[in-house]
Chain A
Amino acid sequence: MIIEALIGVTFLAALVVMLAPDKYAGKLAFALSLLPVVGSLYMWAGFDAGGNALMAGSIAYETQFEWLTVAGYDLQWFVGVDGISLPLVVLSTVLSSLAIVSAWTPIDARQSQFYGLMLFMEANLLGVFTALDFFLWFVFWEAVLVPMYFLIGVWGGPRRKYAAIKFFVYTNIASLVMFIGFMALVFNLPVSSFGLPEITQSLQNGGLADLNYLGLSADTLKLAAFAAMFAGFAVKVPVVPFHTWLPDAHVEAPTPVSVMLAGVLLKMGTYALLRFNFTMLPDVATRPLVATVIAAIAVISVIYGAMLALAQQDLKRIVAYSSVSSMGYVILGLIAYTGLGIGGATFQMVAHGLISGLMFMAVGVIYNVTHTRMVGDMSGMADKMPITVGILIAGAFGYMGLPLMAGFAAEYFIFQGAFASTVIPSAPLFTAASMFGIVIVAGYLLFAMQRTLFGEFSLETDYEVRRAYFHDVAPLAVLLLCTIALGVAPNIFFEMITDAIEPVVAVVGGGA
């Protein structure tokens, strides 16, 4: 029942914080958010499941009971974690706590509502990563949108309303497309449940073998469902060309919300892709044409996202576009269908969550004191805020893939996995092309840092440029430590990830 406790405690915490006076809301929210952190770490410490939850593997902390039955379908309360979801659960709780701390300085209006919504979002994120029944999952999945809409729309920058509505409409329509695709698939299966394991196993046991639905063959239906789900999740990830909501949302959102958006919300998309598209329908994903298209989308996201980042003048936009690029690597790793590829992709979800969180927070800390994010407006920040800038530089190196940082491990796994892929036609070519991304990443990060952080200090401002507060820097330091820890010892998570993805890879006969 620990998962229920985790979600329930977070919901309750959200409620308590909502009702708390503004003055204490931030501190209270942080204190309460430590409970899920402890809970998730406890889950991690006692984790002893193996295999993939969807493919007859054992599920940790599983609870399952009937909720209601409609038209012959059982809807269940069905939660549990395996090696893929547990790292994301830990990431969600840790990053939420840190994001709450990083909100202490910038958020000065309607605080109890802000922190309440942050916790409410965290609770739903935990639900997304632990639910194993489609309906339960979808409820959590959509429920994440509501707090996000308010967090961007109320506390965001000047164009917050536009960004909030664009985010809401984009992702909501995407969810609808995905929902329809999934339903079309499930209603033709001989299962009477929305349990993801049952659906996966039924699909793999040829549940659709002799289908003729509205004149569609099983193959066509699967392809259509795959496309609908891919499109739905691609918006969330986001990959080019569905990425246009992301920079708007990121730039307008307050820092802590950007941290959650880049750190965890984008992972919902890749997590769902791995669970739904790549685990349930490997036979569609591995068709040469489909694999080529997905690999091409991945490479284009990597290169185009990085090029867009190169062209930005706003530090936050740079980090935002670089997320498009980094998530492109995840897609490439997934479509590789090798142990290292999918494993690396899952690892990258966590690594990118930590590093992008770090980068957004660092940019936010600098913005708090300078009130600008424009590369052209400032220089020599290193003299004024040495510690913050030091951590920012370390984070940037992590982003570029410096060895012994989490990003390096993840990208290395992905590249090696993608290179050896038997699924993507001419895999080495795609891999090599995507590796150019690294060069561009190094380019824009070094370029931006050179201009803003080093040289003579110059910034025309009415504010006093002071050092950051301890509580501004502390979450950065924690994230940096986590990044280094994962880089030095990837096996903290990688072993359990590999364990959970082996069955997926085995289905298509991909190598390590």
Chain B
Amino acid sequence: MEPALLQADQLPQWAALAPALALAVTGLLLVAVDSINPDDSQPALLAGIATVGSLTSLGLAGWFLSAGTGQPGTGGAIALFGDALVVDGMALFFQALFASVTALVVVASYDYLSDNPHQAEFYSLVLFAATGMALMAAANSLAVAFIALELASLPSYALVAFLKRDAGSVEAGLKYFLIGALSSSVFAFGISLVYAATGSLLLPDVYDALAGGPEGLTGVAAVGILMVAGGFAFKTASVPFHFWAPEAYEGAPAPVSAFLSSASKAAGFAVAFRVFVVGFPLDAGIDWVLLFQVLAVVTMTLGNFAAATQEEVKRMLAYSSIGHAGYALIGLAAFTGGAGGDVLGASMAHLLVYGFMNTGAFLFVALAEHWGVGRTFDDYAGLASKAPMASVAMSVFMFSLAGLPPFGGFFSKYFLFMGAIDAGFWWLAAVGAVNSALSLFYYSRVVKALWLDDVVGEFELGSTPTALYAAIVFAAVATVLLLPGFAPVIETAQSVATTIVP
């Protein structure tokens, strides 16, 4: 193999955090630009800075990933700040995912926010939330995990309530904030219990302490692990901490819904994967694999059934997003120790594909909101005759989310279910497959409305928002190309997942 372009000995160690730093610096830059003349917001400049920043982060993460930074080939994971942060393949994989979604969302927001004041605040909040997510992926200590989670969550609360004249948006923000605060405290309390039992916050040390056998405090550690799992269930919108999600996704500005349901959810999984796989041995007083099996089955079933009964597209997407959290949970639910990297990697690959197809779907909703066509399936009737390209893209997202073969979602689901079967949990895959088949019903309702239903009444769409359109089309192209190009994705995901398994 060609010598890596960037290796640990050529650049200072902290340079490995460059993808996260790029996001943070961009966020600060946005604040600085806005402070020069707060009354004269320049949407194009702000959106441009945010886009360049997130693309830079994507480029850095992709570069590091292909150069092998922090991976076994170049000396293994790079640990920083007293091992509190660790940059390895998995961190970079997720950072690339967050940066892609952030870029899409930022580009799409330019048109969505065109008449809104406080644009600089919007973009900088998105970028700071993305920074938090990037740190979540690299957190190697429970304290950092908590801080990064809060860094990602606090801007999100504000973003959900961003349309402050819209009662729905404000209500959604409030609900999201209250439940978020509650689950944060549960999470923090869980961490303190784990600390009490193990005497460390660093994940590898926690693992060693818990793997050492019962020392009297395993019961405390078990309760702590349970509470930590609760914190993640909130962030990933998994049952039983899911009920904020439909409200928040529905009330939030659609690009924010896209951001939350794709990037924020993936961030929750990133930190959950690392904390549980690296930090908690399988027999640490509680069978957390069993816990996640229950969560996965309940989450995917509840999400899918609830999605099937919705009348509004955005709400349907919100519930289907809960269903997809259930699929992604299979990564932990079918984890069996040593050989668990494959199913974990499949979960990560699914989250990457999901990042594109789900973001795209919410951006289409943003487009519909921009045009003011309404929210229900019926309101979407005949939209294809007015906006054919966007409708093609939306159909691609829907079929891909349902897991139909010509699209990326098929492979990611297939490998997920196959990974579960390989790990011996064929019933988990069966539940997933049945859910997936059911989901075709409600996803195809959108396609039917777009293409097959006749327009009810005349409506004129306004001007075409170029940036939003471009973001949607780009997401669709990515969703399609992820099928033939799935080899590097799944191989990268599985190889980087394998390295975190102790």
Flag A156-193 by CB within 8 Å of B: 1 or 0 each.
Answer: 00001100110011001100100010000001000000
Query: Which of A69, A71, A145, A146 is within 8 Å of B422, CB to CB?
Result: A71
Known contacts being A71-B418, A71-B419, A143-B405, is A176 close to B448, with CB within 8 Å?
A: no
Contact yes or no, B452 A139, CB < 8 A: no
Shortest B178–chain A CB gap in Å is: 41
Distance of A294 from chain B, by nearest CB (Å): 27
User: Which residues 434-452 of B sit at the A interface, judged by CB distance below 8 A?
Assistant: 437, 440-441, 444, 447-448, 451-452
The listed residue (B388, B421, B491) touching A68 by CB distance below 8 A is: B491
Distance in Å: Cβ of A74 to nearest Cβ of chain B? 11
**Inter-subunit contact A150/B415 (CB<8 Å):** no
Q: How far is the CA of A180 from the CA of B451 in the complex (A)?
A: 31
**A118-147 CB contact bits vs B (8 Å, 1 = yes)?**
000000000000000000001101110110
A180, B437: Cα distance in complex, Å? 13
Partner of B404, one of A71, A142, A169: A142
B242 to chain A, nearest CB (A): 27
Instruction: Assess whether A150 is in contact with B451, with CB atoms less than 8 Å apart.
Output: yes
Flag if B452 contacts A153 (CB, 8 Å): yes
Q: Contact: A187 with B405, CB < 8 Å?
A: no
Asked whether any CB of chain B lies closer than 8 Å to the CB of A67, the reply is: yes
Give B333-372 interface residues, CB cut-off 8 Å to A: 342
Measured CB to CB, the closest approach of chain B to A414, in angstroms, equals 33
Q: Of B399, B421, B444, B491, which one neighbours A165 at CB under 8 angstroms?
A: B444
Among A110, A160, A187, point to the contact of B421 (Cβ < 8 A).
A187
Q: In whole angstroms, what is the CA distance A173 to B405 when docked?
A: 13
Interface range, A side: 20 to 34
Report yes or no: A113 in contact with B388, Cβ–Cβ below 8 A.
yes
Asked if B487 and A67 sit within 8 Å, CB to CB, the answer is: yes
B:398-415 near A, CB below 8 Å: 399, 404-406, 410, 415
CB proximity to B under 8 Å, residues A49-97:
67-71
Q: For residue A167, give the distance in angstroms from its CB to the closest CB of chain B.
A: 12
Shortest Cβ gap from A319 to chain B (Å): 25
Q: Which residues of B contact A168 (CB under 8 A)?
A: 444
Cross-interface CB contact of A143 among B406, B415, B433, B486, cutoff 8 Å: B406
A28 an interface residue at 8 Å Cβ cutoff?
no
Counting CB contacts under 8 A, is B125 at the interface? no
B483 within 8 A of A: yes
Q: Are A146 and B399 in contact, CB atoms less than 8 angstroms apart?
A: yes
Q: Are B437 and A139 in contact (CB under 8 A)?
A: no
Interface residue B473 (Cβ < 8 Å from any Cβ of A): no
The answer to whether the Cβ of B490 comes within 8 Å of any Cβ in the partner chain is yes
Considering the chains assembled together, what is the distance between the CA atoms of A70 and B410 in angstroms? 14
CA–CA, A67 and B451, complex, Å:
34
Could you tell me the distance between the alpha carbons of A131 and B261 in the complex, rounded to whole angstroms? 37
Return B164 CB to nearest CB of chain A, in Å.
Answer: 41
Choose among B385, B405, B418, B441 the residue that contacts A139 (Cβ–Cβ < 8 A): B405
Q: Answer yes or no: A154 CB below 8 A from chain B CBs.
A: yes
Contact of B452 among A113, A164, A180, A187 (CB under 8 A): A164
Q: What is the bound-complex CA distance between A68 and B415, given in angstroms?
A: 12
A164: nearest chain-B partner, CB-CB: B452
For A180, give its contact among B422, B433, B491 (CB under 8 Å): B433
* Smallest beta-carbon distance A387→chain B, Å: 36
Known: A68-B490, A139-B483, A160-B452. A146 touches B404 (CB 8 A): yes
CB-nearest residue of chain A to B402: A172
For residue A113, which residue of chain B has the nearest CB? B388
Q: Which residues of A contact B388 (CB under 8 A)?
A: 113
Q: Which residues from chain B contact A138 at a C-beta distance below 8 Å? A: 405
Q: How far is the CA of A138 from the CA of B403 in the complex (A)?
A: 13
Complex Cα distance A70/B414, Å?
Answer: 10
Q: Which of A292-339 contact B (CB under 8 A)?
A: none
Residue of A nearest to B441 (CB): A169
Residues of B contacting A154 in the complex (Cβ-Cβ under 8 angstroms): 451-452
Closest chain-A Cβ to B139's Cβ sits at a distance in Å of 29
Known: A68-B486, A71-B419. A139 touches B448 (CB 8 A): no
Interface string of B376-392 (1 = CB under 8 A from A): 00000000010010000
CB distance from B404 to the nearest CB of A (A): 6
Query: When chains A and B are docked, how far (Å) is the Cα of A69 from the Cα of B388?
Result: 36
Shortest distance from the beta carbon of B448 to any chain A beta carbon, whole Å: 7
A binding-site residues for B, Cβ under 8 Å: 67-71, 110, 113, 138-139, 141-143, 145-146, 149-150, 153-154, 160-161, 164-165, 168-169, 172-173, 176, 180, 187
A/B interface sample: 6 pairs, CB < 8 A:
A68-B491, A71-B419, A142-B405, A153-B451, A161-B453, A172-B440
Interchain residue pairs A-B with the least CB separation, the first 3: A68-B487, A142-B405, A143-B406
Give 15 A-B pairs besides A141-B405, A142-B406, A143-B405 with Cβ atoms closer than 8 angstroms.
A67-B487, A68-B486, A139-B410, A142-B404, A142-B410, A153-B452, A154-B451, A165-B448, A169-B440, A169-B441, A172-B404, A173-B437, A176-B433, A180-B433, A187-B421
